[in-house]
Structure 1
Amino acid sequence: MNAPMAVESARSVATRFADCRDRRIAYRELGSGEPLILCLRFRGVLDSWDPAFLDSLAKSFRVITFDYSGLGQSTGEPSYRSEALARDAIDLADALGIEKFAIAGWSLGGLAAQVVACLIPDRITHAVLIGAAPPGKVENPSEPIFLERALKPINDLEDETILFFEPASPESRAAAAASRKRIEERSADRSPAVAPEIYLKLLQDRAAEDAFPDIDGYAEFLANAGIPILVITGDHEIVFPAPNWFALNRVWKSLHLLVLPQMGHGPQHEVPEMAAEFIASFVRHRSKSQPA
């Protein structure tokens, strides 16, 4: 009797490289089905995603993760400007021959995902924003402790618990330790961390801007574009607080807002399977409408 075929996991899937204009973008892909391209957070590289989240998504999607230009294993000139990050995602889709896809992003990647949806709306089926902010000025700023911890050269478990989870919750603290353990299980072919001199320079490059400048009317466009948009956020989101979305509930015609209790900036790492199932159900059951 033949042994069942092992299912490939984010813990071991090989890194590939795509030639994109003047650079090579490192990427990995899992699963099959509708393509879902994931954009990374601040300081994130391929190995910053929880493999349990990616493996769960791969049950429903062709999941594609990547390193931004000049970071991790990718070549090129790095930038943390949302338009540059969005261009990486679009160029990677072009290199892989992907015409239509769902775009998702975590934190800084959620800003990039919104720009992707604005630049190529006819190619985007859905947008999923995790721990992100809408374009333009926001009423609720980041908590000071975010930068205090996020800018440390090395983040330990306590830093990650504060940055991505809810430190006041014993269950969230346990989830933080479990997620960190899963991320560390990949032993080879890991993307190098972003060096402090790099992320500080890139952060300074956008220091004069709002968190997400509303260039070319992004907010108005997304409010009426008809692209189904799912925002997943924790109720104690220290980077881009959830209340910044509340006033948009009836303004953005296709906005779906999911606020998870006793969670922070990385709810998809705290409840990876549940978050993946929410995303899969959203994509299955919400379809694109004609722009208003």
Structure 2
Amino acid sequence: MSSLYVAAPVRCVDVDGTQLAYREFGEQSGVPLVLFSRFRGSIDDWDPAVIELLSRERHVVTFDNAGVGFSDGEVGASITEMAKTAVKFIKTLGTKKADLLGFSMGGYIAQRIALTEPELVRNVILVGTGPGGGDGATYPGADVEHWVNSVRDPELTFQALWFNKKPTGIAATRAYLERIYTPERPERANVTAEAGAKLRAAIVDWWEGNGSTLPELENIQHPVLVVNGSNDVMVPTPNSFLMAQRIPNAQLIIYPDSGHASLFQYPQTFSEHVLKFLRDQESGGLK
């Protein structure tokens, strides 16, 4: 296990009778940066290289939604339900205002929170994500089903869906796996097959347009940073352009030679861009 995670033990908070797990990093003051994880990802699947850099300037909070990883309870039946649980979690911590960072499925949740609880949100970072199904959306292809539905070699799966088959992608895949899957990684950090199936059902529902934010993107009034790789096959890159065009106060960054997990392929550059984005908003926006 990363020494960063050892220094930030798993804590729990009661939300409607369910124990939700979280970790905190950095100086625990100021507006927290709350991170929402990917499909089949727990709090220990966040790249410690990214967490370490962000937490140098920010109070970073990662948490497992109900039924995922270290948290108890049942997985929410929809993205909207997961967002409601996440809002309760943030409020239970006593937070009045938060910055949100959502990766992949976590970006779906972050968008829904920005729309339903706008007063709780200050800034939003959306990474490798999209607004769900509907007119204008670009849907994941059959290659995603090929890798997601079967038991395959984890390294090849991450390489195909998150990075790429070039030498740079192969190196990025191995580096990420070495940082995450250490011998000390606890078993509970691995999302169960049952939880994964429920998460997948909610994602399919989202892409079918149920709860999709696509018709409402213009109503997100917060400053938003949209980030993706140049060739994301899981949540196709054109969706990032679509969000950036429709969200009134959005910035867009596309990283070269990268895919779904561009934030883990370029952890230093990504973290610097996030921190600059947050500093810019605190000083009045772009100049």
Give the whole-Å Cα distance in 2 for the aligned partners of 1:213 and 1:288.
37
The residue that corresponds to 1:152 in the other structure is: 150
The answer (yes or no) to whether the contact 1:14–1:189 under 8 Å persists in 2 is no
The residue that corresponds to 2:65 in the other structure is: 68
Change (3 A) 1:212 1:38: farther
Give the whole-Å Cα distance in 2 for the aligned partners of 1:163 and 1:11.
29
Q: Residues 222-261 of structure 1: matches in 2 within 5 Å? A: 222-261=217-256
Name the amino acid aligned to 2:79.
S
Q: Unmatched 5+ residue regions in structure 2?
A: none
Higher mean C-alpha displacement, 149-158 vs 253-262: 149-158
Give the whole-Å Cα distance in 2 for the aligned partners of 1:238 and 1:11.
33
The residue that corresponds to 1:3 in the other structure is: none
The residue that corresponds to 1:123 in the other structure is: 120
The answer (yes or no) to whether the contact 2:37–2:104 under 8 Å persists in 1 is yes
Give the whole-Å Cα distance in 1 for the aligned partners of 2:169 and 2:193.
28
1:214-234, Cα deviation, whole Å (9 max, x unpaired): 64x844544244201111101
The residue that corresponds to 1:37 in the other structure is: 34
Name the amino acid aligned to 2:111.
Q
Q: Residues 1-292 of structure 1: matches in 2 within 5 Å? A: 9-10=4-5, 12-32=7-27, 33-79=30-76, 81-137=78-134, 138-153=136-151, 155-167=153-165, 169-185=166-182, 187=184, 189=186, 191-204=188-201, 207=204, 209-211=205-207, 213=209, 215=211, 218-219=213-214, 221-286=216-281
Change (3 A) 1:141 1:132: same
1:29-72, Cα deviation, whole Å (9 max, x unpaired): 10124301111111111111111111111012111111110121
The answer (yes or no) to whether the contact 1:226–1:288 under 8 Å persists in 2 is no
Give the whole-Å Cα distance in 1 for the aligned partners of 2:283 and 2:112.
17
Name the amino acid aligned to 1:9.
L
The answer (yes or no) to whether the contact 2:64–2:70 under 8 Å persists in 1 is yes
Give the whole-Å Cα distance in 1 for the aligned partners of 2:92 and 2:41.
22
Give the whole-Å Cα distance in 1 for the aligned partners of 2:48 and 2:194.
28
The answer (yes or no) to whether the contact 1:126–1:229 under 8 Å persists in 2 is yes
Q: Unmatched 5+ residue regions in structure 1?
A: 1-7
The answer (yes or no) to whether the contact 2:133–2:139 under 8 Å persists in 1 is no
Q: How many residues align?
A: 280
In terms of fraction of residues, the more helix-rich structure is 2
Name the amino acid aligned to 1:239.
M
Change (3 A) 1:188 1:249: closer
TM-score by length of 1: 0.87
Name the amino acid aligned to 2:145.
L
The answer (yes or no) to whether the contact 2:75–2:198 under 8 Å persists in 1 is no
1:100-125, Cα deviation, whole Å (9 max, x unpaired): 01011111110000011111101211
Change (3 A) 1:49 1:152: farther
Name the amino acid aligned to 1:50.
D
Give the whole-Å Cα distance in 1 for the aligned partners of 2:77 and 2:156.
25
Give the whole-Å Cα distance in 1 for the aligned partners of 2:183 and 2:222.
35
Change (3 A) 1:54 1:94: same
Higher mean C-alpha displacement, 78-87 vs 183-192: 183-192
Name the amino acid aligned to 1:274.
T
Change (3 A) 1:261 1:226: same
Higher mean C-alpha displacement, 147-156 vs 129-138: 147-156
Q: Match of 2:188, SS?
A: coil
Q: Match of 1:204, SS?
A: helix
Give the whole-Å Cα distance in 1 for the aligned partners of 2:118 and 2:238.
26
The residue that corresponds to 1:5 in the other structure is: none
Give the whole-Å Cα distance in 2 for the aligned partners of 1:205 and 1:121.
23
Superposed CA RMSD in Å reads 2.5
Percent identical residues: 28
> Alpha-carbon deviation of 1:154?
5.9
